Amino acid sequence: MPREQDILDELTELACRLRDERNWKQFHNPKDMALSLNLEAAELLELMQWKNGEELQRHLDTKKELLGDELCDVLYWVLVIAHDQGIDLRQAFREKIRKNNEKYPVEKAHGRAAKYNEL
């Protein structure tokens, strides 16, 4: 089984190769990449718009490929932004989870949807 580092590196390499082979990096400043990330996230939301509960789940079950495509579009931008900004996603993710564990202790947050400052 590949190590997590190998997987993230492989995905980042694929994303950057797609971009670089097309000479798109010239358009990739941090602001525009963040905008693109948000636009792709909005397309993910659009897929779910106006549906809730069981209807939403049935809809997503029939749209698995499209759901995967939209998630991958979001992931593309996350990987490319992290690459260009020198962010080690593995380490950053571990640190963010550590912070969330502090902000949302199990004994206060279990089963609750409250924000950390409301626990």
The 3-state DSSP class for residue 57 equals helix
Give 43's pLDDT tier (boundaries 50, 70, 90). very high
> Residue ranges per domain, the chain?
4-87, 88-119
3-state SS record for 7-37: HHHHHHHHHHHHHHHCCCHHHCCHHHHHHHH
Residue type, 114: A
pLDDT at 83 > cutoff 90:
yes
Which pLDDT score, from 0 to 100, does residue 5 have? 64
Q: Please report the pLDDT score of residue 53 as a whole number.
A: 96
Mean residue pLDDT of the chain comes to 95
The pTM of the full predicted model, rounded to 2 decimals, is: 0.88
Q: How confident is the model at residue 75 (pLDDT cuts 50, 70, 90)?
A: very high
The architecture CATH gives domain 4-87: Orthogonal Bundle (1.10)
pLDDT tens for residues 58-68? Answer: 999 999 999 99
> Among residues of the chain, what percentage have pLDDT more than 90?
87
pLDDT tens string 14-37: 999 999 999 999 999 999 999 999
